[in-house]
Amino acid sequence: MHIASIEMEIKNIPQLDPGFIPFAKFLDAFEASAKDGIEAAVSLEREGGKIGLLRFKLHGTEAMREADKLYLERLTKFLLYSKGGFCLTIYGDGEKIEALAEYIRSEYTGEAAGRAFDAGLMRDVYEREFEVRCAPLSAIPEENDEGQKLGGNLNGCRIGFDAGGSDRKVSAVVDGEAVFSEEVVWHPKTQPDPSYHYEGILSAFREAAKHMPRVDAIGVSSAGIFVANRCMRASLFIKVPPDAFEREVKDIYLRAAKEFGAPISVCNDGDVAALAGTIGLKDTGVLGIAMGTSEAAGFVDQKGNIRGWLNELAFAPVDLNPSAAADPWSGDKGVGAMYFSQDAVIKLAPEAGIALGDSLTPAEKLKLVQGLMADGDARAKAIFASIGAYLGHSLALYYRFYGFKHALLMGRVMSGGGGDLILATAKQVLLEEYPDIKASVELPDEMTRRVGQSVAAASLPEM
């Protein structure tokens, strides 16, 4: 396969999406062809003076200018959503690097910025304007990207809460043992009034509290981006107007915790999925991927630390097909949310010949296809096998940046026979096309899948 003068060989192509171009394959082929090219690097600065750094080479020739542009634009987009930051700096010497840096700057901050959504999201998360800079190689800084120990605290009486897009789960945990767990259907993504969300959160906390003599700490696993326990952006509150979000949502978990007078710790649900994995696997180096209403990801590194990265892989590119489906939030094509969520199932259903009624909610559409899968429907099998092919190639991409020992797959899309087929197909793709990757790819047991995050969330706060 050929894109921007880069030749690639792809053996495992998704049955229902023959135009899929794995970003991992492009990276491998590009870097092999640019091994004698010009030196370059990018850094991302985020809160607390943290700096992530990546060095690489570009071709630096006129013939490969479009390939260099594509590589740098997609690479910086991936880094932005894996690590996060408010200042992106491109390092290199000469006019060609300066021209490429100006191209990236125009994509994010120019008058016709194609990545304006991404720049705006980073501004909202870090509460400062997003910048793209260019600097010489001599100015490359030292990397400062160490993580911190978080979770694993199971002493005392704790509430663990997991806020998803279709259901919320809560557990009462006493000295590491879940004495009560409850799952309640809710619809946060359709509600413009933040009191709906607040009352749902408070109701869950109160229900868990009934089953313990006291509340010593509260841990929250929630879809979204959180800084210092504050909600900076989350799809759960997508219908809440901006002024109400600023006034009532940013501190929503902190306000709910005040009723109990207990310390609270709030983390992205992907990080808590990874933490649940470390507890279940009794090992570190876990990349947790939750496939539900969207794609959530989190990472516990090989030292057992959470790095403080965004891990918003829902917005990170995995497919370079110019005709790929666009994410409705960012408008970008080929990003993870359209490949590893219920939206992926919905996207592929027409290609498989399955009609999904417009009156059904996305969760109901997923359930319908999963029901067909349980009945042995070949069309449903094609959907989940195609997602498995997406996943195998994308796990190779994620491995480049995370170096995980274990990939733990969670979420509603991974339930039942469809999840088993996704897993088997992904493993086959890794074995056949990326044999050097020795990491395990696995599913947690059913109980961990459903309430493991709420129990792991309970372990977040120190007392």
Q: Measured between alpha carbons, how far is residue 157 from residues 170, 174, 272, 399 in Å?
A: 13, 5, 19, 37
Instruction: Please report, for residues 160, 246, 252, 424, the alpha-carbon distance to residue 249 in angstroms, rounded to integers and kept in the order given.
Output: 19, 6, 5, 40
Do the beta carbons of residue 46 and residue 85 sit within 8 Å? yes
Which residue intervals of 83-177 are DSSP H helices?
Answer: 95-109, 116-126
Question: Does 273-455 match 148-266 at the fold level?
Answer: yes
Place of tokens 């993580």: 147
**Residue 355: C-alpha distances to residues 359, 372, 393 (Å):** 12, 12, 28
**pLDDT of the residue at 450:** 53
What is residue 447's predicted lDDT score, i.e. its pLDDT? Answer: 54
Are the CB atoms for 327 and 33 separated by under 8 Å?
no
**The pLDDT value given to residue 339:** 98
Predicted pLDDT at 449: 57
CATH assignment of 148-266? Answer: 3.30.420.40
Pick from 355, 332, 424: nearest CA to 114: 332
Distance CA 134, CA 98 (A): 7
Q: β-strands 264-268, 230-233: how paired?
A: unpaired
CB-based contacts of 119, cutoff 8 Å, min separation 6? 108, 109, 113, 130
The whole-angstrom separation of Cα 290 and Cα 414 is: 8
- Tell me, what's the pLDDT at 2? 67
For 361-370, which contacts have Cβ atoms below 8 Å and span 24 or more sequence positions?
362/293, 363/166, 363/293, 363/412, 366/342, 366/412, 366/413, 369/345, 369/418, 370/415, 370/416, 370/417, 370/418
- The single-letter DSSP state of residue 49 is G
Give the Cβ contact number of residue 328 at 10 Å.
Answer: 9
- Coil, strand, or helix at residue 181? strand
Taking residue 419's Cβ as centre, other Cβ atoms within 10 Å add up to 23
In this prediction, residue 392 carries a pLDDT of 98
234 with 165: CB under 8 angstroms?
no
Name the E strands within 59-201: 87-91, 131-135, 148-149, 157-163, 167-174, 177-185
The helix (H) or strand (E) run that includes residue 133 is strand 131-135
Per-residue pLDDT at 440: 95
Each residue's pLDDT expressed in tens, for the chain with a length of 463 residues? 668 789 999 999 999 999 999 999 999 999 999 999 999 999 999 988 899 999 999 999 999 999 999 999 999 999 999 999 999 999 999 999 999 999 999 999 877 778 999 999 999 899 899 999 999 999 999 999 887 777 778 899 999 998 988 889 999 999 988 999 999 999 998 999 999 999 999 999 999 999 999 999 999 988 788 888 999 988 899 999 999 999 999 999 999 999 999 999 998 887 887 888 887 788 999 999 989 888 989 999 998 888 889 999 999 999 999 999 999 888 999 999 999 999 999 999 999 999 999 899 998 999 999 999 999 999 999 999 999 999 999 999 999 999 999 999 988 899 999 999 999 999 999 999 999 999 999 988 655 555 567 778 888 888 7
- Which CATH class for the 273-455 domain? alpha beta
Domain residue spans in the chain?
34-139, 148-266, 273-455
